[in-house]
Every structure is written in structure tokens, then in C-alpha cells.
């Protein structure tokens, strides 16, 4: 294609966008609303994922050390623990400290067991790189020397795991669904606008335009619709996310979790939306007009 | 050259609008197509630039074999043919200038050449003052003249006009006829469907009369031939 | 009765299509409107059924004062006026029958009355065989005749026709003219813009000539009056 | 309006729907996809809500009874507990049982404390009608006679509360957003189809139709589009939800939670979708054409 022709196509696409008036506005706003939904939902689902991981990562393996283990042997044990695949870090907590924790949640009456009466064990708290590895690590740890027992969170944690992972599975499914919906709705809107212009396309054919020649301005017009449609969602998402991030960060942090940092995440999200809008706008346009490009 | 051999056209609704029609029009000829309303004139014309596919028979126009023609070759046929459509078929979102220019743009003419030539033909049809208007801001006759301008702008080998003066006063009609005859003088085939008895009788050319889809009369120097 | 007093119409694009035009047409009159392409005939006509609002002046049609008319009263004006539009304005999704019937349906006529009357007028314009077709399956002249049928179906007080025979052969045109004159005989005002010189000269009626938006001639038993 | 006229309008709307061909198909499929999204999302969010409530309801107030309290006094206490506002039910668990629980999660070494050595207390487990009342109930219980202490879940529960409630808050926000989006997209699609028919509407006006007369068939047509558009989502949601319910019910139950029962829930969901589709279709149609009903 000559640059002159390309320029003409670009020009034509602008003109057409402008002269289609309300039709263009309606198409652009369909893209806007769809992508706004996509953007907000994606921001939510990815953060939910992040936080649910934070929660899962809260769950550790408690490795109880047999009584009478010397501190050298403990060091040995620690090294062994650290070598288990998927172990991130290992922290030590004496039985005394452990008792204090129990006192905290089960009441003052445990206080009488301080000192040698303390029925608890010294403990290594082992955190894993992947939450799903917790059970495996616990089993492994149990077989090590000097280990009295190795437990992990218990029933509550298991439940939480299950809920989180099923919510996340549904989240992925819904993300894909939403993507499909967005693609469909945007291309469908473009299709309707093209349907209403079939006569125009027919006339272009009748005065000797090749299909390629007709297609280009429509392709560009679809792309403009997508581009214009993506601007508002990007602004709203970027500003809104920043606001939420600033206002939630503290309360999140106090609960031990954190949202995704705006920088890269927003960039990726914006890019995703722009690609959906522009690519689907352009492709939808070209694909919808195919059937009008006969005879 | 235009050659039709035993051409028939049956519409999907069952109407057979052209029935076993054969004729030849040589280069440089000027022919009227006359006949009552619904006779099949427009159908005949639409087959020549492949807006309609013939149901049977053979059609040859400007060196193209229209039967079994591939869709992608159709634009190149149409670039050799200028058409004035009965319902004008102007692009509603383009101005008068852009509508006429479009026919030149599709053959990727030089911008300056387009500009000069478009203004030239618009002047010829008396619309130089209206180049910035959109079709819906024009009178019926003005739209028809834009259609004429677009048809002639590329100096086509064949010019097909379906009632190019139906919405025009006699004086303007005469102007358009002058233009068509001048183009014909330069060797272009001009084929024109019309109901204008006076014009056919005064500016004598070949007359093809179609009635109920059949060619019922073909005279070299004919007259309109219908009484009222 | 139609009365216009000092009416002007300026389009948004700055064109003044009608300039200070005054005239009166009494009940039962038949008047041609003639004039070159772009003179303002259609603009004049469009103001009569309020498709266009006059920029200034007074218009009175069939007892309605069109200036300062409320939008919701417009349909009732239009029900007294039958219009043949220059570009036909048929509803593309309705069949021939339905298009004509629509004009009767809006006044909530009886279904049986609609059926009878629509078939009657379609027979009158020679389209009884095409009642199930859609407008895009008709020839130009056939579409025009559907438009005529729709305009007369309600036996309006005023019949306005903008080139009702532009796409018709002389014979069919004559048939349409016979219909219009018959309607006129029953007391309906008929107002008809036309470029058909022969018709105006042969069937003499009042002639209103518009040029460049002004009424330049108004003759009781006039002729077309333009030379070619 | 005469019934004859009504019948005609209905008739016209059918015809128009049929004759608009691909345009109708495109409009219907826009409604379909939008409502499918709404339906699936609503099914998810309401179930998520249900389950998160189940989880929250898992959290109880543990009221420890002072040692030496007679069983008659305990009954008194129970009655008092039951009288606290927002208390749903109160179950008794002896210190013996409690110890077994501790043994379960902290290891066998606690076994030595059985019998009178048991440092634990008899406990009333109090569940509240609203999870948010837990803290209040605990405080109230603490002040009662014979009560040694009253605690609730502890840190983990608090975190969970926070997460759940914020997820739920976001869920409500997103539900509203989605509703708005659905309404907008459906009416926007209808608007585009109407825009492409402005000439038609103009012609109707020109041949003497009143605005009301023109409006009705468009209103009905919009309603049909909505109705047709809602059929597939309803089928998919009903069948799909039933399937998911059957397949998830067991694993859910084993985790102690349950999904919403299909019966009434699906009925409500279907109704919501039908109302959105049909009402917005009809209204969107009428509102979009308003501006073409002048002169
Ligand atoms: N698209 C179509 N589908 C079905 N029938 C059609 C179609 N177009 C035209 N016809 C029918 O074919 C016949 C010939 O139509 P055509 O348009 O060729 O007539 P015409 O000679 O051009 O008439 P006019 O002078 O009125 O323009 C008519 O009976 C018409 O109703
Ligand atoms: N919608 C419009 N907007 C702007 N200008 C218009 C519009 N319609 C018509 N005009 C201009 O107004 C003038 C009168 O137009 P009109 O349609 O009344 O002419 P006419 O006498 O009917 O011509 P014809 O015989 O060609 O139909 C013309 O110059 C035309 O270009
Ligand atoms: Mg024709
Ligand atoms: Mg006119």
C-alpha cells in the first residue's frame, strides 16, 4: 500500500467516525463500559488472589523438638529443615514462648505450668514457599531426627485452603468468561454499526473499490472506537485504584496483607484493556463486514 | 464492446425480469433502452456491471467475461464502467466533492489529479458551488447530477445511465445529454435507460425496447415508439 | 385551502431555498409547480406538510396554522394530506401492501376496510400483483406507484406530489395523471411538482413557476413555459 | 388503546423483529451475553456471601465457667446467656471434652492432665445470630456471674472477619456496577439498532402516525429482544447451577459449608435477569427513539 493511500484511509476513518455522530458515540461508550467492567473486575480478582495468598502464607508448619535436644542438635535440625524443598524460612521459638501463646488464647490458668512444668515443646516454625507444600513439608519434617511431632494449622487452615482455592478457581473461570464477554460485546457492537452501513459498503463496491480498499478505513475506524473507548476506563481505573490503594493500604497492612502495588500492575491492566479495545474494535469491524464484500 | 447471449435473470422471489435476451453493442455506440415501468431495463443494466448475476446465458463487457467471474475481479470490471444509478447511490457520509472523488480514489489516482478532475466534472454538471454539501442537503435533481459526475469522472470505457434525467428539468436534461454525447464522441459506449420520449425522438440514436423482459425492438436510428 | 404569506426558508447550511413567497390555493384546485432543478419546489412542498418549518412567514393548510404548531398536532395535519415524496420514502421492512395499509392503520381504520381500500388503490396504480413484495424488490417506477397509492389511500383533503411520474413511462404517467385528476374532481386540492413539459402543456391546469426560491409566474391555465 | 390496535402493534413488532434479521440476532445476542455474565456473577457472589457467612458463623464465643460452679448454677448461667441479645444458641462442653480438643491440636503430651489435673474449664459455646455481634456478646458474658472468662476465636478469626467483610463489601459494589453495566449495554445496543432505523421512524411520522402509535411496536420489539435474549442465560444458569450444586454439595458439606439451594434462588435469579432483559429492552427502545419523534 502506498503511503498516500494509507494516509487517505486514515483520513477517511477519522471522517467517518466523526460523521457517524451518535452511532460512534454509542459504539465508543459500549467499549468504555465493557472495559470499565473488565478493568475493575481484573483489579479486584488479582488483588483477591494476592490477598488470599497472603492469608495462606500465614500458615506454617510447627515442628516440635524432642525434649532434651541440645542446642547443637537443634542447629543440625534447623539446617535439615532448611534443606527441605519448598521451605522458605525457619524460626525458633522456645517452649516458654509457646506457653505464653497458649496462655494468650486459652486463659490464665496455664500460667501454673511455667518452668519445668511446661508441657510444651520447643518449636521450629517453618514457612513454605508455596502454601500447597505445607502438608508435604510437615510430613517430611516428622521423619527427621529430634523431631517429636510436626503439625500445621489444623482443621481451620484446611478449610480456609479449600475455600480460597475454590474461590480462586472460580475467579479464573470468571476472568476468562469476562474476557470472552468483553470481546463478544465489543465486536457485537461494532457488528451492529457495520450492519447499519451495509448499503454504504455496497455502494463502495459498486463504484469499483476493491475489498481491501473498503476494509482499511473500517479497520481503522474500529480501532479508533476501541482507542477512544479505552481512555475513560484507563483513567478511572488508574485514579480509582490509586485512591483505593492509599486508603486501604493501612487497614490491609494491619491485617497482615497487602494489595498489588499500582505501578506495574496498573500498566499491565491498562495494556490489557487497550489491546482488547483496539484489537477487537479493528478485527470486529473487518470480520463483520466480510459478508457484505460479495458481488 | 458489450455482448449478451441468451441471458435470463430470475429473481429469488420468482420474477423472471429478463428472458433469453441477446444483443451486441459495439464500441462507440450510443443506445437508449426504453420500455414500460417494470419491463426489466434496470435489471438488464445491473447485470452489465455485475450488481446482479445472470441466471443463465453469457455476458461480455469491456473484455470481461461476467459469467463465472471471480468476486475479486469485479472491482476491475467496474472501474471500466461508469454508472448512473436510478436511485443515485451516493455515499451519505461524504460530501458532493468526496462522493465524486471516491471513484477516482479507488483507482489510487494522484491527489492533485483528483482535485482538478472532480472540480472539472462538477462544473460540467453545474454543481461547482455545492461541493461541500452532503447528499441529503441537495435537491433530487442535484443528487442525480452528482451521480452523473461520478459516473463520468474516470472517463470510463462504458457509460451506463439508468434514467439520468428523471429528476431534471428539460434544460438541465439537455445539458446532461450534451455531456453524454460528447463522451460518446470520444469512443465511450453510452447505454441509457430513459422514459423521456421527446429526448429519444429528438436526439436519435440506437433504440433498444424491452418489454416484459424481452428485447422487442432494436433500431439503429430509432424513436421512442410508444404512443400516449 | 392552502395559504402562504411571505414565507422564507433558510437551511442550516445557509442556503435560502424559498424567498418571501406568497400564494393561495383554493379548495378543488389543481396546480403544477415547475421550475429548474434546485429552484425550491421540494422545499416549498416540504413546508406544506411540515417536514420543514418555515424560517419566517405564515402558512395555513387544511385549516391548520403551521407556524407555531405543536409537534403533537403534526400527525393530524398529515392525515389530511397525501404526499408522494420525490424519493418515495417507502418503509423498507414492509411489503407493498403493508406500506399502503400503514397510512390507513395510523388512523385506526377497520381491518376489513383497510384490506379492501388498499387492494383498490393498488389495482388503480397497476400493482395488484406485487402486494407481497418489498420495496427493494421493485423497479423504480413501481416504487413510485406504491408511493402514489399510499398518498391517495386515505382520500386526503390535499394531495401533494413531488414528481410523481419522474420514473414512469409516458403511458403509466398518463394513468397516474388520470387518477390525480379524478381525485381532484372530487374536490381534493392537487399540488404537483413536475419536470414533464409535455404533460403540463397537454393537461392544462394552474401553473406556479418557482425560480431561485421565488414565485416568478402564476397562471390559471398555464403552460410549462421553459424552452429547450 | 383498542385491542385491535394493540394486536396490530404486537403483530408489527414480531414482523419487524423477524425482518430485521441479523440486526435482531445481534441485539438478542448482546442481551444474551450480558445477562449470562450477570447471571453467573450473581450466582457466584450470592453463594460466596452464603459461604462466607457460614465461615463467620463458625466463630463462637467461648464462655469459661468458674471451677466449682454447681450444675444448677450452670443452668442459671445458661439461661442468662441465652437471654443476651443476638445470642442464637448455647451448647455445653465439659473441661474433659475441651482437653481432648487441645490434645488434638497441640499434641499428645497434654494427655497427662486428664482428670483433676486438667487445667481447663467447663465451657459454654455461644453462637450469635449475627457474626458481628460476637465481640459484644463476649464482653457481656464476661460480666456474668460464674463466668471465669469469655473469649472468641482470637486473631485469626478477626483477620478472617475483616477479609470476608471487605470482600463482601466489594462484592456488593461490583454487583451494582455489573447491574449498571448490564442496563447500559443492553439499552446501548437497542439504541444503536434504533439509530440505524431513524429514517424508518421519520417516514412513519411523515405519513401521519402519532408518536404513541410509532412507539408501541418499538417498545414491544425491544421487549422481545430482551425476552429472547434472556432464554439462553436462564437455561445455562439453571442447568449449570444444578450441575455445580450436585457436584460441589458434598465437598462443600464436608468442609462445613453449603451452597444456596437451587429452588428459590434460581427462581429469583431468573426473574432478575428476565426483568433486566425485558424492561431494559422495552424502555431502552422507547427512550432511544425519543429524539427521532420531533417534527
Ligand atoms: N430485487 C428484486 N427482486 C425481485 N424482483 C425484482 C427486483 N428488482 C426488480 N424486480 C422486478 O423485476 C421486474 C423488472 O424490474 P426493473 O427494475 O428491471 O424494471 P425497469 O424496467 O427498470 O422499470 P422502471 O422503469 O420502473 O425502473 C419488475 O417486475 C420488478 O418488480
Ligand atoms: N436539507 C437541505 N439542506 C440544505 N440545503 C438544501 C436542503 N435541501 C435542499 N437544499 C437546497 O435548497 C435548494 C432547493 O432545493 P429543492 O429540493 O427545494 O429543489 P427542487 O426545486 O425540488 O429541485 P429538483 O427539481 O432538483 O428536485 C437547492 O439549492 C438545494 O441544494
Ligand atoms: Mg428501472
Ligand atoms: Mg425536488
Q: Which of B38, B87, B210 to mutate to test the pocket of ligand 1 (most atoms within 8 A of CB)?
A: B38
Does the pLDDT of residue B3 top 80, yes or no? Answer: yes
Q: Please work out whether the CB of residue B140 comes within 6 Å of at least one atom of ligand 2.
A: yes
Q: Which atom of ligand 2 is nearest to the CA of B169?
A: 25
CB-based contact (8 Å) between D2 and chain C?
A: yes
Q: Are C125 and C179 in contact (CB under 8 A)?
A: yes
pLDDT at position A107 is 47
Lowest-pLDDT range, A173-177, A188-192, B70-74, C111-115? A173-177
Q: How far is the CA of C39 from the centre of ligand 4 (A)?
A: 8
Q: Which residues of chain A have pLDDT under 50?
A: 105-107, 154-155
Alpha helices in chain B (DSSP H): 41-48, 74-78, 96-105, 111-124, 140-152, 170-185, 197-202
What chains are in contact with B, requiring at least 3 Cβ pairs below 8 Å?
A: A, C
Confidence of residue D93 (pLDDT cuts 50, 70, 90): confident
CB-based contact (8 Å) between D203 and chain C?
A: yes
Residues D153-208 pLDDT 10s: 544 555 566 667 777 787 888 889 899 999 999 999 999 999 999 999 999 999 99
Q: How far apart are CA B177 and CA B171, in angstroms?
A: 10
Q: How many CB atoms lie within 10 A of CB C12?
A: 6
pLDDT at position A105 is 44
pLDDT at position A115 is 65
Contacts of B195 (CB under 8 A, 6+ apart): B34, B37, B163, B166, C141, C167, C168, C169, C170, C173
Q: How far is the CA of A19 from the centre of ligand 2 (A)?
A: 21
Which of residues 29 through 58 in chain A touch D, CB cutoff 8 A?
Answer: 29-30, 33-34, 36-37, 40-41, 44, 48, 51, 55, 58
Neighbouring C-alpha atoms within 13 Å toward the C-beta of A294: 5
Confidence of residue D105 (pLDDT cuts 50, 70, 90): very low
Phi, psi dihedral angles at A268 (to 5 degrees): -65, -40
Partner-chain residue, chosen from C37, C138, C198, that has the shortest CB–CB distance to B169:
C37
For testing contact with chain C, the best of D7, D10, D207, D216 (most C CBs within 10 A) = D207
Q: Are A289 and A215 in contact (CB under 8 A)?
A: yes
CB-based contact (8 Å) between B113 and chain A?
A: no
pLDDT at position D139 is 79
pLDDT at position D155 is 46
Residues C158-172 pLDDT 10s: 999 999 999 999 999
Q: What is the ipTM of this complex?
A: 0.87
* Rounded percentage of chain D residues whose pLDDT exceeds 90: 42
Residues A48-86 pLDDT 10s: 788 777 766 666 777 888 888 888 888 888 888 888 887
Does the pLDDT of residue D53 top 90, yes or no? Answer: no
Question: Is the model more confident about C90 or about A94?
Answer: C90
Q: Which of D107, D110, D111 is nearest to A142 (CA)?
A: D107
From the candidate CATH numbers 3.30.420.40, 3.40.50.10490, 3.40.30.10, 3.30.70.3040, the one assigned to the domain spanning A58-153: 3.30.70.3040
Alpha helices in B10-124 (DSSP H): 41-48, 74-78, 96-105, 111-124
Q: How far apart are CA B153 and CA A250, in angstroms?
A: 72
pLDDT at position A165 is 74
Residues B56-67 pLDDT 10s: 999 999 999 999
Tell me how far apart the terminal alpha carbons of chain A are, to the nearest angstrom: 23
* Rounded percentage of chain D residues whose pLDDT exceeds 70: 83
Secondary structure of residue B17 in the 3-state scheme: strand
Q: Do C51 and D206 touch (CB under 8 A)?
A: yes
DSSP symbol at C21:
E
Q: How far apart are CA D109 and CA D105, in angstroms?
A: 11
Question: Taking the C-alpha atoms of D207, D209, D214 and D215 in order, what is their torsion angle to the nearest 10 degrees?
Answer: 150
Which of residues 75 through 94 in chain D touch A, CB cutoff 8 A?
Answer: none
Q: Which residues of D touch C53 (CB under 8 A)?
A: 295
Domain spans of chain D, in order of start: 3-55+157-292, 58-153
Does the pLDDT of residue B26 top 90, yes or no? Answer: yes
* Rounded percentage of chain C residues whose pLDDT exceeds 90: 94
Question: Is the model more confident about D53 or about C46?
Answer: C46
Q: Do chains D and B touch (3 or more CB pairs under 8 A)?
A: no
pLDDT at position A229 is 96
* Rounded percentage of chain B residues whose pLDDT exceeds 70: 99
Phi, psi dihedral angles at D48 (to 5 degrees): -60, -45
Type and span of the H or E element at A229: helix A211-255
Angle of helix B111-124 relative to helix B140-152, nearest 10 degrees?
Answer: 130
Q: How far apart are CA C146 and CA D207, in angstroms?
A: 13
Task: State the smallest CA–CA distance between residue D190 and chain C in angstroms.
Answer: 18
Task: State the smallest CA–CA distance between residue D84 and chain A in angstroms.
Answer: 23
What chains are in contact with A, requiring at least 3 Cβ pairs below 8 Å?
A: B, D
Contacts of C212 (CB under 8 A, 6+ apart): C19, C39, C40
Q: Which atom of ligand 1 is nearest to the CA of B210?
A: 21
Mean pLDDT for all residues in chain B:
94
Q: Which of B122, B126, B139 to mutate to test the pocket of ligand 2 (most atoms within 8 A of CB)?
A: B139
Mean pLDDT for all residues in chain C:
94
Q: How many CB atoms lie within 10 A of CB A31?
A: 30
Neighbouring C-alpha atoms within 13 Å toward the C-beta of D211: 14
Amino acid at each position: 500500500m502506498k503511503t498516500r493511500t494509507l494516509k487517505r484511509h486514515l483520513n477517511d476513518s477519522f471522517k467517518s467516525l466523526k460523521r457517524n455522530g451518535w452511532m460512534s458515540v454509542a459504539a465508543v461508550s459500549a467499549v468504555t463500559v465493557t472495559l470499565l467492567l473488565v478493568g475493575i473486575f481484573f483489579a479486584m480478582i488479582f488483588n483477591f488472589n494476592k490477598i488470599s495468598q497472603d492469608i495462606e502464607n500465614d500458615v506454617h508448619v510447627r515442628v516440635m523438638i524432642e525434649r532434651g535436644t541440645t542446642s547443637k542438635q537443634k542447629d543440625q535440625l534447623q539446617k535439615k529443615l532448611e534443606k527441605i524443598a519448598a521451605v522458605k524460612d525457619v524460626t525458633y521459638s522456645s517452649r516458654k514462648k509457646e506457653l505464653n501463646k497458649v496462655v494468650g488464647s486459652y486463659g490464665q490458668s496455664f500460667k501454673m505450668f511455667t518452668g519445668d512444668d511446661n508441657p510444651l515443646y520447643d518449636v521450629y516454625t517453618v514457612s513454605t514457599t508455596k502454601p500447597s507444600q505445607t502438608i508435604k513439608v510437615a510430613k517430611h519434617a516428622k521423619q527427621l531426627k529430634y523431631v517429636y511431632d510436626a503439625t500445621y494449622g489444623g482443621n481451620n487452615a484446611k478449610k480456609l485452603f479449600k475455600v480460597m482455592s475454590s474461590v480462586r478457581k472460580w475467579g479464573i473461570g470468571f476472568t476468562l468468561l469476562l474476557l470472552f464477554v468483553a470481546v463478544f460485546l465489543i465486536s457485537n457492537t461494532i457488528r451492529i454499526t457495520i450492519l447499519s452501513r451495509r448499503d454504504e459498503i455496497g455502494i463502495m463496491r459498486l463504484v469499483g473499490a476493491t475489498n481491501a480498499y473498503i476494509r482499511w478505513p473500517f479497520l481503522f475506524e474500529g480501532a479508533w472506537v476501541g482507542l477512544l473507548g479505552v481512555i475513560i476506563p484507563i483513567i478511572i481505573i488508574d485514579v480509582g485504584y490509586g485512591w483505593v490503594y492509599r486508603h486501604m493500604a493501612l487497614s490491609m497492612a494491619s491485617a497482615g496483607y497487602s494489595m498489588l502495588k499500582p505501578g506495574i500492575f496498573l500498566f499491565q491492566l491498562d495494556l490489557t484493556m487497550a489491546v482488547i479495545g483496539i484489537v477487537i474494535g479493528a478485527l470486529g469491524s473487518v470480520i463483520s463486514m466480510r459478508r457484505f464484500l460479495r458481488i | 464492446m458489450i455482448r449478451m447471449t441468451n441471458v435470463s435473470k430470475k429473481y429469488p422471489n420468482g420474477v423472471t425480469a429478463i428472458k433469453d435476451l441477446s444483443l451486441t453493442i459495439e464500441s462507440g455506440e450510443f443506445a437508449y433502452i426504453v420500455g414500460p415501468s417494470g419491463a426489466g431495463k434496470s435489471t438488464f443494466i445491473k447485470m452489465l456491471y455485475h450488481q446482479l448475476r445472470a441466471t443463465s446465458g453469457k455476458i461480455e463487457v469491456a473484455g470481461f467475461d461476467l459469467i463465472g467471474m471471480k468476486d475479486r475481479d469485479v472491482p476491475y470490471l467496474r472501474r471500466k464502467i461508469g454508472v448512473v444509478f436510478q436511485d443515485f447511490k451516493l455515499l451519505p457520509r461524504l460530501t458532493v466533492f468526496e462522493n465524486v472523488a471516491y471513484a477516482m480514489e479507488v483507482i489510487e489516482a494522484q491527489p492533485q489529479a483528483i482535485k482538478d478532475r472532480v472540480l472539472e466534472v462538477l462544473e460540467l454538471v453545474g454543481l461547482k458551488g455545492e461541493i461541500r454539501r452532503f447528499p441529503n442537503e441537495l435537491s433530487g435533481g442535484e443528487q442525480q447530477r452528482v451521480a452523473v459526475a461520478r459516473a463520468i469522472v474516470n472517463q470510463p470505457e462504458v457509460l451506463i445511465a439508468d434514467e439520468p434525467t428523471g429528476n431534471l428539468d428539460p434544460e438541465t436534461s439537455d445539458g446532461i445529454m450534451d455531456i453524454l454525447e460528447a463522451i460518446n464522441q470520444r469512443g465511450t459506449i453510452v447505454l441509457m435507460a430513459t422514459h423521456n420520449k421527446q429526448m429519444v425522438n429528438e436526439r436519435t440514436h440506437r433504440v433498444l425496447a424491452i418489454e416484459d423482459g424481452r428485447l422487442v425492438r432494436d433500431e439503429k436510428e430509432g424513436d421512442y415508439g410508444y404512443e400516449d
